[in-house]
A = this chain, B = another copy of it.
Amino acid sequence: MEKQSIKVGLLGLGTVGAGVMKILKMNEEQITRRAGMPVEVKKILVRSLEKERPIKVDASLLTTDPEDILQDPEIDVVVEVMGGVEQTRRYIEKALQNKKFVITANKDLMATAGSELLLLAREHGRNIYYEASVGGGIPLVRPLKHSLGANRIWRIMGIINGTTNYILTQMNLQDMDFEEALKEAQLKGFAEPDPSNDLEGLDAAYKLCILAGLSFNSRVRIDDLHIEGINSVDRRDIFYARELGFSIKLLAIGEELDEGVALRVHPTLIPTTHPLAGVFFENNALYVVGDAVGEVMFFGPGAGAMPTGSSVIADLIEVARNLSHHVENGIMEMDFQEKAILPMEELSSAFYLRLHAKDQPGVFASLATAFGDEKVSLDMIIQKRSDEGLAEIVLVTHAVEEKYFNRALGRIQRFPTIKEINSVFRVIEN
């Protein structure tokens, strides 16, 4: 028998849930045509029936009892847009056990329990769709799985946190300092009142877990990541970077090397002609290097009700098409291999270093000797006169194993002529 419609149970009716409802109504005719059948939201789980909501919804759809959705045999697919981890996970597990497809916009859940949930889905002959859990409206999950399916992916580099990218953009384009740019971001709603998760790189790290799992077909845990935030980026670093032909971006980087996988989030200098350097303001982008395609990039809004709703509904359309073709779990190409995680020490990076030294003869020579002794060679140098008999020195090294750079840096820090090490960032040329 042909299905007459796809029936949806919605968990949550906050910002994203409202976006989903709005788009379903706005583009109903087109979505029906693409899905091959009407999409019907049958029940919506909310915390309270009385609350004011951003959109009008038929009151008979609302329920405060999750079982009304999880146990309803008519519901084909559970769309989870409520957030949270522990309770939400139990709901999703139950939905899968009850043979429902699951669509989720939940970054934290997919980052911490994604591989287990996907395995559970496979056991039950169903699937979890999570395009909306990372990158907001940007198509990332589907392109990585399908469009780049012929490729082994060597490296991904993402600007996947809008708050930090907005701040770095304003520091660069408007010559703001960090505090000023943060305040503006908060004023415009691009940064939360407590922005520490964003500024310290944690939000980007969770997203990297999801994207790296998908790209390298491996199980990635947040503890595997090296994480640095942007608090250490000074306006002067942005200025010097620009003078040397670079932009500073907070990048989430995943690489698969012969010996294992390397995963990290840190401020990075990239050439101004790199496509990631053209990603300004609150926008996000993922840059992907594959062995067949070369370099591709996906750009767009990394958050927001309507963009995230757009991704949720793309997943809904796919579920509907699978249902009408009697495909149960589609292709489950993830097999969650455990791969070695490479320590930062063993990675090769070029470094940018800004420091203040006493402006006296022999200072630069001693710096150069310390680097030379550790086989760190210098690529670019700027020295400027500073206040009070100090010189401000900016160095960019050639790529070198991190442990050698760290050793040289340790030596330099002990020089009595070095007044202060201001900044150390990695540099990626391509």
Contacts and interface: CB of A to CB of B under 8 A. Distances in A.
A110 interface: no
A335 B364 CA distance: 70
Interface string A307-346: 1011101101110010001110011010000000000000
The majority secondary structure among interface residues of chain A is: mixed
Contact of A331 (B36, B150, B295, B306): B36
Contact of A296 (B33, B299, B316): B299
How many protomers of this protein does the assembly include? 2
A139 B146 CA distance: 9
A360 interface: no
Given A173-B273, A283-B275, A297-B299, A310 B290 contact: yes
A378 interface: no
Interface in A84-121: none
A149 interface: yes
B292 A275 contact: no
A143 interface: yes
A151 to B, nearest CB: 6
A372 B131 CA distance: 51
Contacts of A273: 173, 278, 280-281
Interface stretch (A24-32, A44-52, A58-66): A24-32
Interface string A393-415: 00000000000000000000000
Contacts of A296: 137-139, 298-301
Contact of A151 (B27, B275, B301, B316): B27
Give the interface residue-count category, chain A: 35 or more
Q: Max chain B CB contacts within 10 Å: which of A275, A292, A327?
A: A292
Contacts of A362: none
A292 B325 contact: no
A200 B291 CA distance: 33
Given A150-B309, A150-B313, A331 B321 contact: yes
A277 B299 CA distance: 13
A137 to B, nearest CB: 4
Nearest to A280: B273
B309 A292 contact: yes
The 8 closest A-B pairs by CB, nearest first: A278-B278, A139-B147, A296-B300, A150-B313, A297-B299, A137-B293, A292-B310, A293-B310
5 contacts: A150-B313, A275-B280, A294-B301, A297-B297, A321-B331
Given A294-B300, A299-B299, 18 more contacts: A27-B150, A30-B150, A137-B293, A138-B296, A139-B143, A139-B296, A142-B147, A146-B317, A150-B309, A150-B314, A273-B278, A275-B279, A290-B310, A292-B313, A293-B306, A295-B300, A298-B298, A298-B299
